[in-house]
A and B are shown apart, each in its own frame.
Chain A
């Protein structure tokens, strides 16, 4: 084991995480959540066309590999004359992907809110949109935190795929260092894995904090 290399590589790999993996994760997840709510509402719509669009979206996203989705955006779109840089490509692909998976979570969470809550909203004079926003979604949010956290943690690790479309995130940094130290793959990739694990552990702690905060109003 080349401990000196491990030490010298630690900061570059970590900074790849801090400037690549983490922002990529947060931005994609935020946009993905917005997509998820929209798609979930489409799927819940009584309008068959809208519901069909939502269903088709989820089906395509879940039925195709994330790596292929990345390649379609980054390598495929230029054939149609649309050239997107690595970073925006990654954000587009990850957001769309999270949107597909999280849509099902959001949909189930909305359905888990009792019908009476909708009716209570209506009866105090609210329309559907306001009832959704002020009454139903806050309660659905509580239900969806644990499964959404899973999606989030998965995304942290999935962002390593962005290395294949030239985004210099954490794993690509590790690869670059490994390229000039070909006898130290094990060390460097273990180191990269360790840093992913640390990120995920910290973020999982954040999940508990959010759950605890949202638990204020839940009977124990």
Chain B
């Protein structure tokens, strides 16, 4: 699977007539990225990135700092605006139930094509952002809001979910990550691992189709990394679609369906983790993995 021809193809394009239920099946394309370019001034951070995110898959983005992996992730959420390329999002069906956010049940969403070489409207950017939810490296919880208020802010203020319903959903989600008793605590009263778990719950509460993680454990004390990765693994097992920028190779190997190694703004190599970690084809990949596994050599 190495889409490099720069065209947008496959199901999920507007106008496609799809059999009922097709869109929500695991394995069908959710987000298709083609030829993404982005510069910050003279710094050409993304140099033509292709990426296919399939429903229910976990994609790990690895690479040295400055490789463009975080910018790519942020582009998927509309936080970074690429200069060229396209991001296509497949349509999504209506939710078939209202189980308290314990599985990915997004609302109905229209197909979406963003062509960054043309003008991308604010509506398009918001529509793209609506597909995903972001977990930040430094959690970025709202310090002036309690844990519960952090989680319900998006649903209540933006999605217009009735407050009582948002609270009961949030409480259920917090319970799942073992933080039910921290509802009324302020973020600064929590440990780093707890803060990041709240960050994950805040993202889940938006009921996104796609969860984006930007080095979610990099800022944590080593002994707190495990509790966050455990939650992420659980989500992956439940079938959430995830794109994860990470340096945790073990996690990537255990959880990811596909690993992309980025360097210098291009995807140097991609593949299933088992193969890519055991037998990297590119010299750059090999060197990077070696450095990560043997840091003091």
B186 touches A216 (CB 8 A): yes
8 Å CB interface, B135-151 against A:
136, 138, 140-145
Please name the residue on chain A nearest to B153 by beta carbon.
A124
Count of A-B contacts with CB under 8 A?
61
B114: CB under 8 A from chain A?
no
The answer to whether residues A124 and B143 also contact, given A116-B138, A119-B79, A216-B186 and a CB cut-off of 8 A, is no
Stretch at the interface among B27-35, B154-162, B248-256: B154-162
Tally B residues with Cβ within 8 Å of A: 27
Q: What is the minimal beta-carbon distance from A136 to any residue of chain B, in angstroms?
A: 10
Residue from B138, B143, B158, B188 within 8 A of A125 (CB atoms): B158
A11: CB under 8 A from chain B?
no
List chain B residues, Cβ under 8 A from A139: 142-144
Please name the residue on chain A nearest to B155 by beta carbon.
A124
List chain B residues, Cβ under 8 A from A185: none
B130 touches A125 (CB 8 A): yes
Tally A residues with Cβ within 8 Å of B: 21
A123 touches B186 (CB 8 A): no
- Against A, the Cβ 8 Å flags (1 = close, 0 = not) of B199-210 are 000110010000
Q: How far is the CA of A114 from the CA of B142 in the complex (A)?
A: 11
Residue from A130, A135, A216 within 8 A of B142 (CB atoms): A135
B143 touches A218 (CB 8 A): yes
8 Å CB interface, A130-148 against B:
130, 134-135, 138-139, 142
Q: What is the minimal beta-carbon distance from B213 to any residue of chain A, in angstroms?
A: 12
List chain B residues, Cβ under 8 A from A119: 79, 134, 136, 140
A45: CB under 8 A from chain B?
no
B109: CB under 8 A from chain A?
no
**Quick one: which of A114, A125, A216 has the most chain B CB within 10 A?**
A125
Q: How far is the CA of A119 from the CA of B188 in the complex (A)?
A: 19
A122 touches B158 (CB 8 A): no
List chain A residues, Cβ under 8 A from B79: 119, 122-123
Of the A-B pairs whose beta carbons lie under 8 Å apart in the complex, a sample of 27, sorted by A's number, is A116-B138, A117-B142, A119-B79, A119-B136, A120-B136, A120-B141, A120-B142, A122-B79, A123-B77, A123-B133, A123-B203, A124-B133, A124-B157, A124-B206, A125-B126, A125-B130, A126-B157, A126-B158, A130-B157, A130-B158, A134-B153, A135-B142, A138-B144, A217-B144, A217-B187, A217-B188, A218-B188
Which A residues are closer than 8 A to B by beta carbons? 114, 116-117, 119-120, 122-127, 130, 134-135, 138-139, 142, 216-219
Which B residues are closer than 8 A to A by beta carbons? 77-79, 126, 129-130, 133-134, 136, 138, 140-145, 153-154, 157-159, 186-188, 202-203, 206
